[in-house]
A and B are shown apart, each in its own frame.
Chain A
Amino acid sequence: MQLHTIDWIVAFFAVAVCFVPALFFSKRSGKNTAEFFASGRSVPWWLAGLSMVATTFSSDTPNLVANFVRTQGVAGNWQWWAFTLTGVATVFFYARLWRRSGVLTDLEFYELRYSGKAASGVRGFRAVYLGLLFNCMIMATVNLAACKIAAILFGLDRWQTLLGVGLLNVVFAAHSGLWGVLVIDMIQFFIKMSAVIAAAYFAVSLPQVGGLSGLVDKLSQVRGPGGLNYLNMLPDFTNQWDLAFAVFILPITVMWWSVWYPGAEPGGGSYIAQRMLASKSEKDALGGTLFFNVAHYVLRPWPWILVGLASLIIYPELSDIQKAFPHLNPGLIGHDIAYPAMLRFLPAGWMGLMLGGLVAANSSTILTHLNWGASYLVHDFYRRFVHREGSEKHYVLAGRIATILLFVLSSALVYALDTAQASFNIILQIGAGTGLLYLVRWFWWRVTAWCEIVAMISSFLVSVGLLLLSRSGVHIGTAQSLILTIVVTTLCWLATAYLGPQTDPEVTGKFLSEGPALRSGLGAGSPAHRAGRPRAGR
């Protein structure tokens, strides 16, 4: 794809505007780990919210939405729209609680809520599991999308893209800490939104598409596989029950409360919790999370959807994309690549803005994941279990080294991933069934650290078992696999709650007395409640 001089100027300016302000935060972020990983707990709601929404807008997100639109219609987006329910629950019930807990990372919460070696064990295990394994897989997914886009736009090899992305992100993440990440995110959000709105405008304005009315008229007459109406915002419950079950009924009845994936964790967690914890007050934590949910679900989807719909007219089949990009590696061709394929219609100058926006989309996600993953590895593993008496400067340096190592490992993983959709499914499978636990642990005294350990192990084992079955020729559908994992995992941790060792009543009583648990009644019946201890901490 040919870029003009004006495109390069605009792209350079867009990237520079994002990153240069972060250079001024090195001294502040290097003071201590509270500054490096939690911005000194002084972030206003609008900065926290903008950063959350910028982080969840990565370079693979438009590709994923285009994939949904082209294969399942607009209604296919219910797979992630259903998570509005957990998002709203997080806003109104959990955001304040997280900020009130006063922990530095959401993993530190384990030793506030639970007691004994099991509590420290689950904290350390999740630090490595999420901070290293899960985190690297997500970054690999995001960088795989960047590689695909760069291959289409510039014909770059994977290693070339990874080198460029790595140099930019690692330097700033290691240098500026969470302050730098938040400021970069804020500016990037506006550049990205401008770019995707421009992309939607020019896609819909193509003569073949004929504007919004032309788009709606043309696609109203087109039917996809099984009579799929691409425009429908709700699935067809009569003629396409299987699709409706997979993309709507399952997500809205089961997945939103049971599935864990970053950005939509039941009860909040990961980098969303990191921003709540960095907020300067409980109200800021709530306001930032509310802003995030509105921007995430309301402002952003439609420009992506419009491009996906327009691509159905321009490239009705995958072979049409291959024809338009004859030199593109056939292994990269998929419906998710329709989004970058539509970008060739952008006029000079706008292409540069989109390029800047794509760089911003990639780096906002990667920067956050680097800082978030490093916070787990350093604060919840290295500092907690390996080296307890170091200075604050020592742990900030450890955070910077962890940042570099995380990117190197995730880059190696890029070569093992297939498409963005496949990665999304793997992520969902591994987190399946654990979500309810994260919702009720704030209120129900029976939940213990062992429940969390059992939930993670059972979820992982079921996922691995399903993968092995699939490889041996026994194919179980994605929806059925998800339900099986959720049911097994939920039963396992519920059994552990009733049959396994209990948390020290002193710890449970203190924790529950500082939350709204007793008002909900779920704390009633606990050993601490029977002993008359609750509410003592208020």
Chain B
Amino acid sequence: MIWSALFTVGNFLYGRLDYGFGLLAVFVISGAILIGVVRRIWK
């Protein structure tokens, strides 16, 4: 989740918009999964 966010920013700065948007999608999906898992762990 954090790496995808990190490289989303990097790719946007490099002007590689396609990679940037792809990684942004990875960030959103992995973040949602992680939050769900953590909520279940600490329920």
Residue A386 is within 8 A (CB to CB) of chain B in the complex: no
Dominant secondary structure at the A interface: helix
- Decide if B15 touches A88 in the complex (CB within 8 Å): no
Residue B28 is within 8 A (CB to CB) of chain A in the complex: no
User: What does the 1/0 interface line of B20-43 toward A look like (CB < 8 Å)?
Assistant: 000000000000001001100110
Pick the contact of A233: B10, B15, B38, B41 (CB < 8 A): B10
* Cβ distance B31 to chain A, nearest Cβ, rounded Å: 10
**CB contacts between A and B, total, < 8 Å:** 41
Given contacts A92-B38, A92-B41, A96-B42, contact A212 B13 (CB under 8 A): yes
User: What does the 1/0 interface line of A90-111 toward B look like (CB < 8 Å)?
Assistant: 0011001000000000000000
- Decide if A81 touches B6 in the complex (CB within 8 Å): yes
- Decide if B38 touches A298 in the complex (CB within 8 Å): no
A299's nearest neighbour on chain B, judged by CB, is B9
CA gap between A81 and B1 in the complex, in Å? 12
CA gap between A343 and B14 in the complex, in Å? 22
* Cβ distance A245 to chain B, nearest Cβ, rounded Å: 19
Given contacts A92-B38, A96-B42, contact A87 B13 (CB under 8 A): no
Given contacts A87-B2, A96-B42, contact A216 B15 (CB under 8 A): yes
Interface size class of A (residues with CB under 8 A): 20 to 34
What residues of B have a CB within 8 angstroms of the CB of A306 in the complex? 13
- Decide if A88 touches B2 in the complex (CB within 8 Å): yes
Interface centre among A81, A298, A305 (most CB of B within 10 A): A298
Given contacts A216-B14, A231-B14, contact A298 B41 (CB under 8 A): no
Residue A293 is within 8 A (CB to CB) of chain B in the complex: yes
Residue A301 is within 8 A (CB to CB) of chain B in the complex: yes
Residue A325 is within 8 A (CB to CB) of chain B in the complex: no
What residues of B have a CB within 8 angstroms of the CB of A79 in the complex? none
Residue A297 is within 8 A (CB to CB) of chain B in the complex: yes
27 residue pairs A–B, Cβ–Cβ below 8 Å: A81-B3, A81-B6, A84-B3, A88-B1, A92-B34, A92-B37, A92-B41, A212-B14, A213-B15, A216-B14, A231-B14, A233-B7, A233-B10, A294-B5, A297-B2, A297-B3, A297-B5, A297-B6, A298-B2, A298-B5, A298-B6, A298-B9, A301-B6, A302-B9, A302-B10, A302-B13, A305-B10
Given contacts A92-B37, A298-B5, 17 further A-B contacts (CB under 8 A): A74-B10, A81-B3, A84-B3, A87-B2, A88-B1, A88-B34, A92-B41, A93-B41, A212-B13, A231-B14, A293-B2, A294-B2, A294-B5, A297-B5, A298-B2, A298-B6, A302-B13
Binding site for B on A (CB under 8 A): 74, 81, 84, 87-88, 92-93, 96, 212-213, 216, 231, 233, 293-294, 297-298, 301-302, 305-306
